[in-house]
Amino acid sequence: MKPRLVTSLGFAVVAFALASPAAFGQTLYKLIDKNGKVTYSEKPPKDYDGQVIPMNIDPNANTATLPKLPPPAAEKPGGPNSDTRPEAPKAKESIEDKRARLEAAKQAYDKARNNPGEGDVTWIGNAGGGTRAIPSEDFQKRLSRLEADVKKAEEDLRRAEGG
């Protein structure tokens, strides 16, 4: 029995299959024939005349951590315009908030690094076959900015923990 192939038109079906809980820990195979046509398969093909690239599915790759909303501001006694004193400085961020900020910064950096968008990377072919990625200048700047955010969050957490 031949493996079931999914063409680029059926890619949406594959995307839904990847999003399902049954896809945890599965491998999808990207098949590139000698003419450059790309298809996808759930099983490795036998005697395939082309390149077969296993794509391990990471179910945690497309997750996001939502920021916590601040509590609604309590109205001061006497109405909003009765007190003209400046507000007291906000309480310092807790250690748990700093840890959450560090984790969010790490996830943002990893997501950007592992999932470049369209135009972020140019693929250059080699004479002997194969390709290599050349990141764009904007992509490199964005990664540097995200990496700096991670380092700042690590430093803030280290200071908060007394280290």
Quick one: 52 and 109 in the same domain? no
| 67-80 confidence digits (pLDDT tens) | 777 777 665 555 55
Q: What is the mean pLDDT of residues 45-65?
A: 80
Q: Could you give the C-alpha distances from 146 to 4, 66, 134, in angstroms and in order?
A: 40, 17, 19
- On whether residue 24 sits in a domain, the answer given is yes
Identify whether residues 162 and 102 lie together within a single domain. yes
Is the domain of 52 the same as that of 105? no
In a domain, 36, yes or no: yes
Of 40, 60, 80, which marks where a domain is finished?
60
Q: Which domain holds residue 47?
A: 1-60
Question: What confidence category does residue 144 fall into, taking pLDDT thresholds of 50, 70 and 90?
Answer: very high
- Total of domains in the chain: 2
Single pTM value for the model: 0.41
Residue 155 is inside which H or E element, if any?
helix 137-160
Is 71 contained in some domain?
A: no
Q: Is residue 134 part of a domain?
A: yes
